[in-house]
Amino acid sequence: MAGLSNMQMSQESMIIARRKHTAVLRALNSSLQDPKTATTDATFMTVMLLGLYETITGSTPQSLKSWANHINGATAIMRMRGREQLQTVVGRQIFAYLRNQIVIDCIQRSAVIPPEVIEWSEYALQLETDIGSRRELGIFPMITRLCTLRGVIAKDTNNDPAVLTIARGIDADLIEWADKFPTWLRYTTELSNDTENVLSGYYHVYPNVWVVGGWNLYRCARILTHEVMERWLSRNLTYDMAQLRQSEAVLIKLNADICASVPCVFGQVDANGLQTGSSCSPRAATGTWILWPLYLAATMDTATPTTRAWVINQLDKMGRTMGIQQAISLAAVLRAQKEITAWGRFGSGVDEEVDKW
């Protein structure tokens, strides 16, 4: 309802949505007080849906902190539920959704992934029989190592060559993970001269919109890995200039590939190719998958002014067509040439929440 009210610019619908949100919060607080209901699937999903609500309705940087608080709350419930929650398919799906949100939060804060999430991801992989789910779970060890590396660098910036060695190892494993994707989970590339909806002259066609999330997680992981390498090499210019040039080329390609996935998420790709206009039917739930990959693409060191302008346009369109207010907020941050760097510092003033590029 919140998403629809944003799309239709209906104040009445938003008032109803906020009332329902308040009612849900009251009911959730009651559920959390009862040991019998505190750890149920319904309570767990309610907390995560509240995080989605913040994404859809958030029009200020403070909403990002509210989103993170809901994820922290869901993580606490996850710990209480224990790894027994992974015994069922539904339990593993709920855990997978939360794990992806935790990864986004950890990447934003340059924090390590909680040990329970690491342990239970390994356990879930042992139980999982679905090939697609196993492929997605297979990338998690590399994500874990990347978050650990970024966490170490955030606390102690040094010129230890081990940083470069570890980053190269992570990147090699990510490439191997992608190379083993089955054919039915791969995408094809189509050319287009539609500069409004396509950035680099091509777009991707995926078997379904669910596959986009896995590929963009891979791209974001490689981008962050190569940024670690690039920044280390920039401080040690005599070390390996070839690697520096290679990383720059990889970053440019991964940036373009994230942007090439946007038409599929926006519902603009069907059997007849790229479609625009009223025939498209984007959904808010799928739009949230592309939100942070797009933001990352715009804030990369290698992002051009053209790329940033295109991403801003897509974020604005996401706000209009999917009702995701957080997309409009991020577009405003990008227009101001500011970057969210530490969610934990969110306070009452904008200057506390963003840093100049």
- Give domain status of residue 339, yes or no: no
When pLDDT is averaged across residues 125-137 and rounded to a whole number, the result is: 80
Say yes or no: 163 and 266 in one domain: yes
- Give domain status of residue 91, yes or no: yes
CA distance 107 to 182: 28
pLDDT at residue 34 tops 90? no
Say yes or no: 70 and 204 in one domain: no
Say yes or no: 127 and 37 in one domain: no
pLDDT at residue 233 tops 80? yes
Say yes or no: 58 and 91 in one domain: no
Most confidently modeled range among 7-11, 50-54, 215-219: 215-219
Say yes or no: 137 and 248 in one domain: no
Say yes or no: 63 and 6 in one domain: yes
**pLDDT band of 346, cuts 50, 70, 90:** very low
Say yes or no: 162 and 242 in one domain: yes
Considering 156, 173, 206, which residue would you say is the last residue of a domain? 156
Say yes or no: 183 and 317 in one domain: yes
Expressed as residue numbers, the domain containing 163 is 158-323
CB-based contacts of 318, cutoff 8 Å, min separation 6: 266, 282, 287, 290, 291, 324, 327
CB-based contacts of 67, cutoff 8 Å, min separation 6: 51, 54, 55, 58, 326
pLDDT at residue 228 tops 80? yes
Query: What are the respective helix, strand and coil percentages of the chain, to the nearest 5?
Result: 70, 5, 25
Say yes or no: 24 and 76 in one domain: yes
Say yes or no: 304 and 252 in one domain: yes
CA distance 41 to 246: 46
Coil, strand or helix: which one is 121?
A: helix
pLDDT at residue 315 tops 60? yes
Burial bucket for residue 100 (CB in 10 Å: 0-12, 13-18, 19+): middle
pLDDT tens string 180-197:
888 888 999 999 999 889
Enter the tokens of residue 239: 């070390």
pLDDT at residue 102 tops 90? no
**pLDDT band of 169, cuts 50, 70, 90:** very high
pLDDT at residue 328 tops 90? no
Contact 257, 214 (CB under 8 A): no
pLDDT tens string 264-290:
988 888 766 787 654 455 565 677 778
- Give domain status of residue 289, yes or no: yes
Confidence (pLDDT) at 289: 79
